Amino acid sequence: MIKAILFDFYGTIAVYGDMQKADEKVSRIIYDCLISKDTSIEYKDFINQWNQIFSLPLTLEEKTEETIFLTKISSIFKQYNIPYNTAEITETGEKCLNIWQSYISFPEDMHKTFEALKTKYTLALISNFDHPKHIRKLLQDTDIIRYFDAIAISGEIGISKPDTRIFQKILKELKLKPNQAVFVGDSIADDITGAQNAGCKTILIDMHNRFQSYSGSRISKISDLIDYQI
């Protein structure tokens, strides 16, 4: 019997817009900060360096700034031997996240959906994100934090999906067996595969019908869960 629904955050609860444009604007913010100190840096070289740094997984032990995301920004400064201070990195990071978040929205029926689900299930959140304070602020600002009995953010615990340990951590906190939980996420590689390997049932949320060949359980929006036979 399913007792809990575990949710991914971005792409599942938070709805992506034009993220290519968002990523371009974020890159420009960092680049503009760099060239304000060294005008010889070419954008093409910068973007190659930044993409490599951003995609590189870091452990909590490798974190030199407040969060892994800020550590990655500081790394690009180090790459070009440009001096920086913590306040400058923090300000740049906040600008990046505010721009990125402006391309993300939330369903109008989000609260109605969680209110309905909460009457039947325990709810929890598992997210891969390198700047946990940003998600926690969003959860507070949108007032959905009250629905979740447990929250695991990779940038806080140093474990990312699809590593089964991040699912196991939440299950242990909720005192549930894997077969008592269903995980809802938008990534087959990180969400669906990871949760299945942890022994959970899974539901793919496919808002734009990107995974037409996927044969498993699927929904197109979180409100579909209200009447879904889990």
Q: Where does the pLDDT of residue 230 fall: very low under 50, low under 70, confident under 90, or very high at 90 and above?
A: confident
Q: Is the pLDDT of residue 10 over 90?
A: yes
Cβ burial of 40 (10 Å; 0-12, 13-18, 19+) is exposed
On the 0-12 / 13-18 / 19+ scale of CB atoms within 10 A, 70 is buried
Return mean pLDDT, the chain.
97
The pLDDT assigned to 217 comes to 96
Pair of tokens at residue 132: 């946990």
Percent with pLDDT over 90 in the chain:
97
d(CA 191, CA 118) in angstroms, rounded, equals 21
pLDDT at 147 over 90: yes
Instruction: Tell me the percentage of the chain whose pLDDT exceeds 70.
Output: 100
pLDDT on residue 53: 97
Is it the case that residue 187 has pLDDT exceeding 90? Answer: yes
Task: Give the model confidence (pLDDT) of 124-140 as tens digits.
Answer: 999 999 999 999 999 99
Q: List, for residues 208-225, the tens digit of each pLDDT value.
A: 899 989 999 999 999 999
- Residue 75 phi/psi, 5-degree rounding, is -65, -35
Measure the CA–CA gap between 58 and 123, rounded to whole angstroms. Answer: 28
Predicted pLDDT of residue 12: 98
Q: What is the pLDDT of residues 150-186, one digit of tens each?
A: 999 999 999 999 999 999 999 999 999 999 999 999 9
Confidence check: pLDDT of 102 > 90: yes
Q: What is the pLDDT of residue 169?
A: 98
Contact 154, 127 (CB under 8 A): yes
